[in-house]
Structure 1
Amino acid sequence: MTSSFLEHFRHQQQDTETESVMDTQCPFCSVQCTMQLLEQRTGDRKKYKVLPLKETVSEGRLCIKGRNAHQHALHKERILHPMKKVNGQFVEITWEEALSFINKQFRTIQEQYGPDAVGVYGGGSLTNEEAYLLGKFARVGLQTKHIDYNGRYCMSAAASAMNEAFGLDRGLTNEMEEIPLAECILLAGTNIAECQPTLLPYFRKAKDNGAFIIAIDPRETLTTKLADLHLKVKPGMDAALVNGMLKVILDRNLHDEQFIKERTEGFEQVQQHLSEVNLEEIADLTGLPREIIEYAGVAFGSVSRAMVFTARGVEQQTHGHETVRNFINLVLATGNIGKPGAGYGAVTGQGNGQGGREHGQKADQLPGYRSIENPEHRNYIARVWGIPEKALPGKGVSAYEMMEKMADGEISALFIMGSNPLISTPNANLAEHALRRLKCLVVVDMFLSETGELADLLLPSSSYLEDEGTLTNLEGRVTLRRAARSCPGKVKHDWEILCDVARALGKETYFSYSKAEDIFNELRLASKGGKADYFGITYTRLKEERMYWPCPSMGHRGEGRLFDGSFARTNGKAKMLPVINHVPMEQTSDRYPLHLTTGRVMSHYLSGAQTRRSPALSARQIESFVKIHPKTAHAFGIKDGTMVYVDSQRGRMKARGAYDESIREDTLFIPFHWGGEQNVNNVTYDGLDPVCKMPGFKVCAVKVSPVIDLTIN
């Protein structure tokens, strides 16, 4: 056998194509579409192909983000080893060195300033197991009360409103497949077509069945183009608009008296409040003609099956809690809940935004949606965790208030997992000051994010392809994401990192898990009897069945539709609440004459730390932009496509101006996926909703000016 033949044979082997199939699900939005990633290898070359699966709510559809999610997971910029900052530069260290550093820093700080001097900051994309364990780590491993997460900026208004009105917070009160049964659908502050595009066919099918669709949004979007009626409301005036619609419904006797009497309380106060509402005043406040408001009220109130969906556009306001309560009033007044094709839904944004807020990441919460201030709830969780009830810390503060406490020096160290608060926090200048003032910042992430740049220690986290665990989608359906790939380098799963840090802190007894399923089984027990009861859900069942929470027993499949017969409040009734015509806390002025609102673009996700590292996604939208009406642009000397400054009382950002005739002339729109000088949160309003502590992202007063004055005198 000649050497040339052997060489030829080796080349043939190298050129032979092999293929591996990885089952997984998209890491991005709350739909949680399932898919297969096909890796085709020819020699040293690799090609990837993504195939959708029909197992979940998206029914075999994938959007542009899902089809390209693997690009960031396989990106060369991933952090593969623990990295410590030395003389301003990150250097690779061992896990043993990293854990020793955390132990020394956290112990020193807590001994000097107390246990609450160390804070924990989580994320809405962690699996249920990791969200649960992060809460346990804060309260048992660190014994600090200071834990919150970026979901505070996403779902807190809707969550608090549903809890108070219904006694239970789950994103949708119905399964998605009931949407085509609705005769009228109200989409308030949600751009489903660009944020959850795989859900759009449900709404198209409803429209094909004759449903009348109303969209409330100050700008025109792909979603408003689907609507039969677009209410281009003045930013921040959504609660007033609903008051107008409710008044029309009551004045024309379109409300459901029997449902109100049998299944609600508080209607008399709402009725009294609405009797004093003036439709002409509502028209002036909202910037909408009176007859259009009347038309919307009659359209919604005249059908027997209607649904309301809200999202960040109406929730991320300084009165977001009460605004959502008013949309719920609309549902209750017309009896549109607890039956097929009728209900309320808060369209969750983050991948596990629903599950992430159920099991202990929130400052006031324990697993199973229990309250940390309820003695019975505290005792139960303490028994599950094997600690004295008195050892459980009390209630902490919200995410933004944590930033304020860092800025004031009350919190001296921070452990961040799965979040990029420097980009996602309003008034980002304060957030940067707060993070820089810390004595120790530890960031767990896949990439060196803008927040990670400020860290003293970076710990490498696994991607969605590598990390097995459960997630809960927007309709309350629990899904099991398989681990399709081994961790690269020295990367560890978030739950492994928490166990390792707990061991370094001497708390190994409470964190001795060998796999994610072990954590889930403890979560099941911890949630048992709580509002978010997962006890009857197991990994085995998830592989075979379609399951929703609450699921209290092994013989139960969970409740796809909620509130058929009663609500989750003590008396079984929903609570209605009169809502005044709120105006935004920050008003426009001669100095800041325009409203600013923010949102997403289809190709990016949250702070963009992942999607901006996907070549296919980044190429679709390489930079931020400022949507501005041409008449407004001309008034301020701005040419289409030129760079502009946007200023508020809090700071300045810079992006490229983009003419848009469909936006209100008094309003600018800027997406929030970019950092640095393109970070819109440099200017957003940091006032908080008094109930849920949601910041007022969606409405603030700004001015706009050209970076280079092109005006010819």
Structure 2
Amino acid sequence: MSDFLKGFREREYPRQREYHYETQCPFCSMQCKINLDEDRTGQKPRYKATPLKSDPVSEGRLCPKGIYSYSHAFSAARLRTPLLKVGETFTPVSWEEAFDWVKEKITSLQKNYGKNAMSVYGSGALTNEKAYLLGKFARVAIETKYIDYNGRFCMSSAASAANQAFGVDRGMTNPLSEIPEAECIILAGTNIAECQPTMMPYFRRAKANGCKIIVIDPRETLTSKIADIHLKIKPGMDAALVNGMLKVIVDEDYVNHTFLQESVNGGGELLAFARTIDLNNIVSITGVEKELLVEAARLYGRAKTGFVFTARGVEQHAKGVKNVRNYINLVLLTGKIGKSGCGFGTITGQGNGQGGREHGQKADQLAGYRSIENPEHRAHIAKVWGIEEASLPRKGVSAYEMFEKINEQEIRGLLVLGSNPAVSNPNARFVKEALKKLDFLIVIDPLLSETASLADLILPGSTYLEDEGTMTNLEGRVILRRAVKKLPGEAKLDWKILCEIASVLGKEPYFSFKTAEEIFEELRLASSGGIADYMGISYERIEKEKGVFWPCPSDEHRGTPRLFGKGIFYHEDGKAKVMSVPHHFPEERTDEEFPLTLTTGRILMHYQTGVQTRTAPELNKTSEPYVEIHPDTAADLGLTDKGLARIVSRRGEIVLPVKFSAGIREDTVFVPFHWEGNMNINQLTLPELDPESRMPEFKACAVRVTTLEMGSMENQLEKREVLV
């Protein structure tokens, strides 16, 4: 090992923490701090994760995923050397051979087909440093416009809506500590108890203080158990439901007229629109009881303080932006924002879902939440990077559209970092077939994901225990995770791999970073003056203050835990914007052939596509995929609890065990999305995209559910019709 590499390893890995690691969970956006102890006294090392009591976010709590979050980092399944596919078999190669292969492939591809024939796909789980570096890597090292990331499937609708309404997108407008101050809270399309379990105590504390909680979800969940009112909505009908609530709030005059006049544009038009709403029609199309809808609107309208929180159930629709805009209308119409205990929040999904969308992974963004199409923004970034503004590519396309470009062979090469698009995309069969059309696929990953198994070259990357860097949690708090573990075998740090690829492509001067902190220092400069301004945030300050809220434009600035504190928003005139949102329906309606609506989501024991969490036997013991269905619906279809059912959409079919639940709507079925192969529900989901956010319609598509015998009979009839 060279002296340089030894020095580098020492900077990334503090040896004195060999048996005790202070780190943080890599999974959800709470980013809970962890004490991880390693006991090597036995034949095999033993690990124990416990919560860090001093963590101001988790307040000393961990969920099951956090307790076993170390499993994938220490797993025997870790990739330890570059793997090149020769024929149908992966063959170990040296890093030198791997980088030579990458150089030859990218150079040849771009010479024959142009710069944009190569593309890059990132992740909302990357540190801010890696997200920033990946955006720079795509545009400077690869010189392509085609970069996007899996966060497009997470936060894009909420981000677009917040930018339109407030002029800024930060997941929560307030710190978590203010939740208990609310008199009323709306939780729409979010199952926090399973997705962000350590956040639940904040809501329980609010409830103990007398807060009324309204849950809007088509099924009963662990989260809905704390609700005072549960509005069991038809999937995809959120905008219409909110219109009903707006009708009550306007007719009974719970409107904050002073705030609306002084701080909001569009208020008059929204008030006029709300008065035209037919409440009986809302009840009919949403499936929600009128009395409950009216009571929910009154509880929120009358409350002096309150929050509205949305998540993927609201946002993962082809009109997800409009859904979120209408929930924001509730907040702005009543003036519940900019004050303690009052605000809006979209519950960020991935660990760095917030920071991951701020610094350049999205097709249309540059660092600091700048627009790649804005001349001033381009000039600022070009100056930081030391390149000509004209050489910066323009915007590309969204995540799913990249795979359409691959299918059309406009894109012919792809590098994936920290993501598993073969499973996480809608219409997953199409995506996998598109990936097979690539001239080559390069995947950087610490584990053999389903996407990596399709690669031509796999480069063994790093896990959260080896990576140093910052994350931005769901509050907008920038926190620091130190590296505490050595890399296994010949694996390398993800960001180091990007820098070395850039070097072999002749772009070393732009990627001469020696530590993650050096990348962050450049990120600070790149974000300076942008909406997501990190200029005043440093590693030293983060550790001293246990996190710093952005925007923080200077060393002297205190950070911004609560946005809009002076009633001033981020639009040029300082005002927020409301808009009328007409009722709309899911893009794919049910009919006689496909009479049920399928919706999807997470379960407590697993995270995203499950590649990491499925390495933990303890998390696999009590979890498997299933189709949740109402017993009455199941009886009509001849299904039995724990028996098998065939779920069929216009895009495919899968077979899963049946799970009865009297808490789900009779016209709806639910399937979790953490599995691949014949259990991957995204083979069935709809790829229709929101015209503004480019979010696919994950949360509502038409299906039929049958017994296996019925499914077999249908297949035989279909084959007979084809033969005829």
Task: Give the TM-score range, shorter chain.
Answer: over 0.9
Query: Residue by residue, what CA displacement relative to the aligned partner does 1:216-272 show, whole Å, maximum 9, x if unpaired?
Result: 000000101110000000111011000000010000111100000011001112122
Query: Residue by residue, what CA displacement relative to the aligned partner does 1:557-604 show, whole Å, maximum 9, x if unpaired?
Result: 310000011011111000001101011111001110000000000000
Contact 1:192 1:223 (C-alpha < 8 Å) held by counterparts: yes
Contact 2:646 2:711 (C-alpha < 8 Å) held by counterparts: no
Amino acid at match of 1:568: Y
Contact 1:186 1:309 (C-alpha < 8 Å) held by counterparts: yes
Amino acid at match of 2:258: Q
> Which ranges of structure 2 fall in alignment gaps of 5 or more residues?
1-16, 713-724
Contact 2:58 2:199 (C-alpha < 8 Å) held by counterparts: yes
Q: Distance in 1 between matches of 2:80 and 2:273?
A: 59
Structure 1: 4+ residue segments shifted above 2 A: 707-711
**Secondary structure, aligned partner of 2:687:** coil
Query: Residue by residue, what CA displacement relative to the aligned partner does 1:622-643 show, whole Å, maximum 9, x if unpaired?
Result: x210001111111112111112
Give the C-alpha shift of residue 478 in structure 1.
0.5
Query: Residue by residue, what CA displacement relative to the aligned partner does 1:384-435 show, whole Å, maximum 9, x if unpaired?
Result: 0000000000010000000111011110000000100011000001101110
Amino acid at match of 1:641: K
Q: CA RMSD in A?
A: 1.3
The TM-score with structure 2 as length reference comes to 0.95
Contact 1:19 1:38 (C-alpha < 8 Å) held by counterparts: no
Moved more, 40-49 or 305-314: 40-49
Amino acid at match of 1:534: Y
Q: Distance in 2 between matches of 1:213 and 1:290?
A: 18
Residue 661 of structure 1 pairs with residue 662 of structure 2? yes
Residue 107 of structure 1 pairs with residue 107 of structure 2? yes
Residue in 2 that maps onto 1:567: 569
Residue 427 of structure 1 pairs with residue 427 of structure 2? yes
Residue in 2 that maps onto 1:89: 89
Residue in 2 that maps onto 1:133: 133
Q: Distance in 2 between matches of 1:707 and 1:110?
A: 49
**What fraction of aligned residue pairs are identical, expressed as a percent?**
56
Residue in 1 that maps onto 2:195: 195
Q: Distance in 1 between matches of 2:243 and 2:324?
A: 12
Give the C-alpha shift of residue 51 in structure 1.
1.9
Residue in 2 that maps onto 1:535: 535
Give the C-alpha shift of residue 709 in structure 1.
5.5
Contact 1:637 1:709 (C-alpha < 8 Å) held by counterparts: no
Contact 2:627 2:659 (C-alpha < 8 Å) held by counterparts: yes
Give the C-alpha shift of residue 707 in structure 1.
2.2
Residue in 1 that maps onto 2:251: 251
**Secondary structure, aligned partner of 1:686:** strand
Residue 446 of structure 1 pairs with residue 446 of structure 2? yes
Contact 1:33 1:56 (C-alpha < 8 Å) held by counterparts: no
**Secondary structure, aligned partner of 2:512:** coil
Amino acid at match of 1:389: E
Residue in 2 that maps onto 1:42: 41
Residue in 2 that maps onto 1:544: 544
Contact 1:331 1:343 (C-alpha < 8 Å) held by counterparts: yes
Residue in 2 that maps onto 1:379: 379
**Secondary structure, aligned partner of 2:675:** coil
Residue 606 of structure 1 pairs with residue 608 of structure 2? yes
Q: Distance in 2 between matches of 1:111 and 1:636?
A: 57
Residue 265 of structure 1 pairs with residue 269 of structure 2? no
> Which ranges of structure 1 fall in alignment gaps of 5 or more residues?
1-17
Contact 2:26 2:125 (C-alpha < 8 Å) held by counterparts: yes
Residue 513 of structure 1 pairs with residue 517 of structure 2? no
Q: Distance in 2 between matches of 1:219 and 1:542?
A: 40
Contact 2:18 2:485 (C-alpha < 8 Å) held by counterparts: no
Contact 2:123 2:151 (C-alpha < 8 Å) held by counterparts: yes
Contact 1:32 1:56 (C-alpha < 8 Å) held by counterparts: no
Q: Distance in 1 between matches of 2:711 and 2:673?
A: 27
Contact 2:145 2:394 (C-alpha < 8 Å) held by counterparts: yes
Contact 2:154 2:312 (C-alpha < 8 Å) held by counterparts: yes
**Secondary structure, aligned partner of 1:492:** coil
Amino acid at match of 2:200: L
Residue 153 of structure 1 pairs with residue 153 of structure 2? yes
Query: Residue by residue, what CA displacement relative to the aligned partner does 1:298-326 show, whole Å, maximum 9, x if unpaired?
Result: 11100110100000000001110010000
Residue in 2 that maps onto 1:5: none
Query: Residue by residue, what CA displacement relative to the aligned partner does 1:619-673 show, whole Å, maximum 9, x if unpaired?
Result: 121x210001111111112111112211111111221111111110000000000
Q: Distance in 1 between matches of 2:200 and 2:207?
A: 11
- The correspondence of residues 11-50 of structure 1 with structure 2, limited to 5 A, is 20-50=19-49
Contact 1:355 1:471 (C-alpha < 8 Å) held by counterparts: yes
Q: Distance in 2 between matches of 1:637 and 1:92?
A: 51
The TM-score with structure 1 as length reference comes to 0.96
**Secondary structure, aligned partner of 1:73:** coil
Q: Distance in 1 between matches of 2:449 and 2:101?
A: 21
| Aligned residues between the structures | 694
Query: Residue by residue, what CA displacement relative to the aligned partner does 1:523-550 show, whole Å, maximum 9, x if unpaired?
Result: 0000000000000000111111131100
Query: Residue by residue, what CA displacement relative to the aligned partner does 1:65-87 show, whole Å, maximum 9, x if unpaired?
Result: 00001111111011111000001
CA shift in 2, pair 1:43/1:213, >3 Å: closer
